[in-house]
Amino acid sequence: MIQQNLWLLWLVCMPVSVYAGTDIDAAERDTIKFIKVHFLYGSKPKKEFKFLEKKWFGGMHGGHVSIETDSVVTGFGPKGKFHVFGHRKNFHSHFFSQGMPEWMDDSVGMKYVTVTIPLTWVQYQRIDSIHKAYQNTPPYDYAFVGMRCAAATYDILSQLKLVSNRGRFGMVTRYFYPKLLRKRILKLAAERKYVIHQQSGRITRKWEKD
Protein backbone atom coordinates (compact mmCIF):
# COMPACT_ATOMS: atom_id res chain seq x y z
CA MET A 1 0.00 0.00 0.00
CA ILE A 2 2.81 2.44 0.86
CA GLN A 3 4.60 1.74 -2.40
CA GLN A 4 1.34 2.20 -4.36
CA ASN A 5 0.72 5.59 -2.68
CA LEU A 6 4.26 6.74 -3.46
CA TRP A 7 3.78 5.72 -7.10
CA LEU A 8 0.53 7.72 -7.35
CA LEU A 9 2.18 10.73 -5.70
CA TRP A 10 5.00 10.63 -8.25
CA LEU A 11 2.49 10.51 -11.15
CA VAL A 12 0.66 13.55 -9.76
CA CYS A 13 3.82 15.61 -9.22
CA MET A 14 5.61 14.72 -12.45
CA PRO A 15 3.69 17.10 -14.79
CA VAL A 16 4.20 19.96 -12.35
CA SER A 17 7.96 19.43 -12.36
CA VAL A 18 8.11 19.19 -16.14
CA TYR A 19 6.08 22.35 -16.73
CA ALA A 20 7.93 24.24 -14.01
CA GLY A 21 11.23 23.48 -15.71
CA THR A 22 9.83 24.55 -19.08
CA ASP A 23 8.61 27.87 -17.66
CA ILE A 24 12.00 28.66 -16.15
CA ASP A 25 13.78 27.89 -19.40
CA ALA A 26 11.36 30.06 -21.38
CA ALA A 27 11.84 32.98 -19.00
CA GLU A 28 15.61 32.69 -19.26
CA ARG A 29 15.40 32.71 -23.05
CA ASP A 30 13.07 35.72 -23.09
CA THR A 31 14.92 38.28 -20.94
CA ILE A 32 17.93 39.27 -18.87
CA LYS A 33 20.32 40.78 -21.34
CA PHE A 34 21.37 44.38 -20.89
CA ILE A 35 22.75 47.33 -22.78
CA LYS A 36 24.15 50.48 -21.22
CA VAL A 37 23.69 53.86 -22.87
CA HIS A 38 26.57 56.17 -21.90
CA PHE A 39 26.17 59.95 -22.14
CA LEU A 40 29.27 62.14 -21.81
CA TYR A 41 28.32 65.74 -21.01
CA GLY A 42 29.37 68.81 -22.96
CA SER A 43 31.75 71.21 -21.26
CA LYS A 44 34.19 74.08 -21.60
CA PRO A 45 37.26 75.13 -19.59
CA LYS A 46 36.63 77.33 -16.58
CA LYS A 47 38.19 80.75 -17.03
CA GLU A 48 40.77 80.23 -14.31
CA PHE A 49 41.85 76.91 -15.87
CA LYS A 50 42.08 77.87 -19.56
CA PHE A 51 45.83 77.39 -19.37
CA LEU A 52 45.25 73.78 -18.32
CA GLU A 53 42.13 72.68 -20.18
CA LYS A 54 41.37 72.55 -23.90
CA LYS A 55 38.22 73.43 -25.81
CA TRP A 56 36.28 70.40 -27.01
CA PHE A 57 34.09 70.01 -30.07
CA GLY A 58 30.60 71.36 -29.40
CA GLY A 59 31.52 72.98 -26.09
CA MET A 60 28.55 73.08 -23.74
CA HIS A 61 26.37 71.52 -26.43
CA GLY A 62 28.89 68.79 -27.18
CA GLY A 63 29.49 65.51 -25.43
CA HIS A 64 28.96 62.04 -26.82
CA VAL A 65 26.60 59.08 -26.55
CA SER A 66 27.39 55.42 -27.13
CA ILE A 67 25.98 51.97 -26.38
CA GLU A 68 27.69 49.21 -24.42
CA THR A 69 26.97 45.55 -25.05
CA ASP A 70 28.95 42.74 -23.41
CA SER A 71 31.58 45.20 -22.11
CA VAL A 72 32.19 46.67 -25.58
CA VAL A 73 31.22 50.32 -26.16
CA THR A 74 30.15 51.24 -29.70
CA GLY A 75 29.67 54.79 -30.95
CA PHE A 76 29.30 56.78 -34.16
CA GLY A 77 31.79 59.38 -35.35
CA PRO A 78 33.51 61.06 -38.31
CA LYS A 79 36.20 59.39 -40.38
CA GLY A 80 38.18 61.41 -42.86
CA LYS A 81 37.08 64.87 -43.98
CA PHE A 82 34.45 66.49 -41.77
CA HIS A 83 31.25 67.28 -43.68
CA VAL A 84 29.03 70.24 -42.80
CA PHE A 85 26.09 68.70 -44.65
CA GLY A 86 25.50 65.00 -44.90
CA HIS A 87 26.40 63.28 -48.19
CA ARG A 88 24.22 60.63 -49.72
CA LYS A 89 27.08 58.50 -51.07
CA ASN A 90 30.48 59.85 -50.03
CA PHE A 91 30.32 58.81 -46.37
CA HIS A 92 33.02 60.03 -43.99
CA SER A 93 31.79 58.11 -40.97
CA HIS A 94 32.28 54.96 -38.98
CA PHE A 95 30.93 53.00 -36.03
CA PHE A 96 33.84 52.28 -33.71
CA SER A 97 34.22 50.14 -30.59
CA GLN A 98 36.22 50.29 -27.36
CA GLY A 99 36.65 47.74 -24.62
CA MET A 100 35.37 48.91 -21.24
CA PRO A 101 38.86 49.32 -19.71
CA GLU A 102 39.79 51.71 -22.53
CA TRP A 103 36.47 53.56 -22.29
CA MET A 104 36.88 53.94 -18.52
CA ASP A 105 40.40 55.35 -19.00
CA ASP A 106 39.07 57.88 -21.51
CA SER A 107 36.23 58.83 -19.14
CA VAL A 108 38.34 59.59 -16.06
CA GLY A 109 37.41 63.06 -14.82
CA MET A 110 34.45 63.28 -17.21
CA LYS A 111 30.87 63.97 -16.26
CA TYR A 112 28.66 61.20 -17.56
CA VAL A 113 25.45 59.30 -16.89
CA THR A 114 24.82 55.66 -17.76
CA VAL A 115 21.36 54.14 -18.22
CA THR A 116 21.11 50.33 -18.02
CA ILE A 117 18.30 48.90 -20.16
CA PRO A 118 17.13 45.26 -20.02
CA LEU A 119 16.57 43.50 -23.34
CA THR A 120 14.80 40.38 -24.48
CA TRP A 121 16.94 37.80 -26.21
CA VAL A 122 15.44 38.85 -29.56
CA GLN A 123 16.38 42.50 -28.93
CA TYR A 124 19.88 41.47 -27.87
CA GLN A 125 20.40 39.48 -31.07
CA ARG A 126 19.07 42.42 -33.05
CA ILE A 127 21.50 44.98 -31.62
CA ASP A 128 24.37 42.55 -32.06
CA SER A 129 23.55 42.20 -35.76
CA ILE A 130 23.04 45.98 -36.14
CA HIS A 131 26.44 46.78 -34.62
CA LYS A 132 28.21 44.21 -36.80
CA ALA A 133 26.49 45.46 -39.96
CA TYR A 134 27.03 49.16 -39.16
CA GLN A 135 30.69 48.68 -38.31
CA ASN A 136 31.19 46.81 -41.57
CA THR A 137 29.27 49.37 -43.69
CA PRO A 138 28.07 52.64 -42.10
CA PRO A 139 24.48 53.38 -43.27
CA TYR A 140 24.89 57.17 -43.34
CA ASP A 141 27.37 60.02 -43.40
CA TYR A 142 28.56 61.91 -40.31
CA ALA A 143 27.92 65.65 -40.68
CA PHE A 144 27.34 68.75 -38.60
CA VAL A 145 23.93 69.11 -40.25
CA GLY A 146 23.12 65.43 -40.47
CA MET A 147 23.50 62.19 -38.55
CA ARG A 148 25.76 62.37 -35.51
CA CYS A 149 26.14 60.29 -32.34
CA ALA A 150 22.79 61.21 -30.74
CA ALA A 151 20.70 60.63 -33.87
CA ALA A 152 22.60 57.41 -34.66
CA THR A 153 21.98 56.09 -31.13
CA TYR A 154 18.28 56.92 -31.45
CA ASP A 155 18.23 55.03 -34.75
CA ILE A 156 19.52 51.88 -33.04
CA LEU A 157 17.23 52.20 -30.01
CA SER A 158 14.22 52.63 -32.30
CA GLN A 159 15.10 49.42 -34.14
CA LEU A 160 14.98 47.67 -30.76
CA LYS A 161 11.47 49.12 -30.19
CA LEU A 162 12.69 50.97 -27.09
CA VAL A 163 11.67 54.34 -28.57
CA SER A 164 9.29 55.27 -31.39
CA ASN A 165 10.36 55.15 -35.02
CA ARG A 166 11.34 58.39 -36.73
CA GLY A 167 12.54 59.23 -40.19
CA ARG A 168 16.10 60.40 -40.81
CA PHE A 169 15.05 64.07 -40.87
CA GLY A 170 13.11 63.67 -37.60
CA MET A 171 16.07 62.08 -35.82
CA VAL A 172 18.50 64.75 -37.01
CA THR A 173 16.33 67.73 -36.08
CA ARG A 174 14.95 66.42 -32.78
CA TYR A 175 18.22 64.96 -31.47
CA PHE A 176 20.72 67.41 -32.89
CA TYR A 177 23.11 66.99 -29.94
CA PRO A 178 23.41 64.50 -27.02
CA LYS A 179 21.61 66.52 -24.32
CA LEU A 180 18.34 66.36 -26.26
CA LEU A 181 18.50 62.55 -26.40
CA ARG A 182 19.78 62.34 -22.82
CA LYS A 183 16.69 64.12 -21.50
CA ARG A 184 14.47 61.70 -23.45
CA ILE A 185 16.26 58.58 -22.19
CA LEU A 186 16.41 59.80 -18.57
CA LYS A 187 12.67 60.43 -18.67
CA LEU A 188 12.17 56.93 -20.07
CA ALA A 189 14.44 55.52 -17.33
CA ALA A 190 12.32 57.18 -14.62
CA GLU A 191 9.13 55.76 -16.12
CA ARG A 192 10.46 52.23 -16.57
CA LYS A 193 12.67 52.08 -13.46
CA TYR A 194 15.93 51.59 -15.34
CA VAL A 195 19.15 51.70 -13.32
CA ILE A 196 21.02 55.02 -13.62
CA HIS A 197 24.65 55.65 -12.70
CA GLN A 198 26.17 59.14 -12.61
CA GLN A 199 29.69 60.50 -12.32
CA SER A 200 30.66 64.11 -11.64
CA GLY A 201 33.25 65.75 -13.87
CA ARG A 202 36.48 67.39 -12.79
CA ILE A 203 36.25 70.87 -11.28
CA THR A 204 38.53 72.49 -13.85
CA ARG A 205 35.72 72.41 -16.44
CA LYS A 206 32.23 73.86 -16.55
CA TRP A 207 29.80 71.04 -17.36
CA GLU A 208 26.35 71.29 -18.92
CA LYS A 209 23.35 70.51 -16.74
CA ASP A 210 20.27 68.41 -17.40
Its pTM surpasses 0.85: no
pLDDT, tens digit, for every residue of 3-49? 444 343 333 333 333 323 333 344 445 557 999 999 999 999 999 99
**Phi-psi domain of 205 (left: phi exceeds 0; alpha: psi -120 through 50; beta: other):** beta
Residues 6+ apart with CB under 8 A from 83: 92, 141, 142, 143, 144, 146
